[in-house]
Amino acid sequence: MAAHQKVSSDKYTELVSGGLGRELAKRLGLPQPAVLRRFTPGVPLVQGPILVVGHSAGADAVSAVLLSWGQDVRRHATPRDTLGAIVLVLDELAHPDQLSAPLREVGGALRDLQRNGRIVGISRQADAQDTPEAAAARNAVDGILRSLAKELRAGATANGVVLANGTAADAPSTMSALRFFLSARSAFVDGQFLTASSEGSATEPNWDRPLEGRVAVVTGAARGIGASIARTLARDGAKVVAVDVPAAGDQLAAVANEVHGTALQLDITATEAGARILDHAAQRHGRLDIVVHNAGITRDKLLANMDAARWDSVIAVNIAAQLRINQALLASSHFADHPRIISVSSTSGIAGNRGQTNYAASKAGVIGMVRATAPLLAEKGGTVNAVAPGFIETAMTAKIPFATREVARRLNSLQQGGRPEDVAEAIAYFASEASAGVTANILRVCGQNLVGQ
């Protein structure tokens, strides 16, 4: 078993997670981040009953699916009845006046939500065909859930599933997104939304091994987030091809051996990178189903001091390489069975960051690429999405000066940094067959960072 790369530890969160440390932080008015419940195979989906709020046929259908998953479902709140999650179904919302009753019901149950509890809203997409009243009501849900996420404590999160036109509240893609948000896989995802369509198989997925039989390529897999992605995809059943530069060969081989996959030493900026990835996957596994564009670099400088080498190298690795590789994938018959592309963007690409005009440009470029590639991949029955991490505890962030690192950790609703596995879990969700109706989404894994959306 390969040794995992050592990263910085959030000693403060450990200190205030219980006992005298928690009491002292409370008395002094200091942040009290909770130890987050992260995914472990075999653990329950939710710790406690799930309250389903809503009186539509969609709410009844969602309740039925939750019951089929073996969950303890409640349709009415009972005072002091400890809850693991609250699911708010607003699929028939047509006017802002209809928000008051269900939101007051949710508000009355919040004190009964357990530590690391979940709130998930299910609502419809607002578009130009709606009446002004319906569009106002549906868009209001965005503000409600993002604000509620900032009010929750003790590791609880609030997220939303948005139904595209014609999508049922209990459609397979809706339920897969709901399951992700309810689970411990989404521990560091807060105040975010996934848009689900009616696409997808009605066959019940293999929730324990959702990637069984699939072949996945992960770039930048030798260390950090990339290595965690490789481990998570392998845990979920995928055969993994770990890709990184030749200089990282030893670490890359260790990761590949650990996940019982294969290693491919490759400079992804090379013109033939896409062809080499496809050839390797075809020769070793006969196919390629999932590509995770994780490889990325930073070369930070204020724009006034930015030279061509710093700018060009970041663009070449972080976005131009992805574009060329995707062209090869789209043209290949080996990448044609409901394929998945998942790119790693960044909150810097959403909100910007001082000294990172080159990096922010590349990561914002990833977002544009994903949205434009979605209809092209749909022709193959595939999807493309992106994950945008915030502050993640890695060997790279461990080098940030202590005071700056502490501020960065606390500037989100969960008041702590994420872990590489938090990013990996989101990518594994997008890679699964259950997410077939979820495409062109940009999911922030940032604990609801206080910048951007």
Catalytic residue list = 359
Q: State the DSSP H helix or E strand holding residue 218, giving kind and residue range, or none if neither.
A: strand 215-219
DSSP state of 201: -
- Burial-class residue 98 by CB neighbours within 10 Å (0-12, 13-18, 19+): middle
> In 3D, which of 363, 343, 254, 222 has the Cα closest to residue 300?
363
- Burial-class residue 63 by CB neighbours within 10 Å (0-12, 13-18, 19+): buried
Token duo for residue 13: 């969160």
Token duo for residue 294: 């994780």
Q: Are 361 and 403 in contact (CB under 8 A)?
A: no
Token duo for residue 127: 């578009």
φ and ψ at 309, to 5 degrees?
Answer: -65, -45
Q: Are 329 and 339 in contact (CB under 8 A)?
A: yes
C-alpha 453: how far from chain center:
14
Strands (E), 351-441: 383-389
Token duo for residue 50: 């799930």
DSSP state of 392: B
Q: In what order do the strands lie in the sheet with 73-74?
A: 73-74, 50-53, 83-90, 113-124, 157-163, 193-196
How many angstroms separate the CA atoms of 305 and 272, rounded? 33
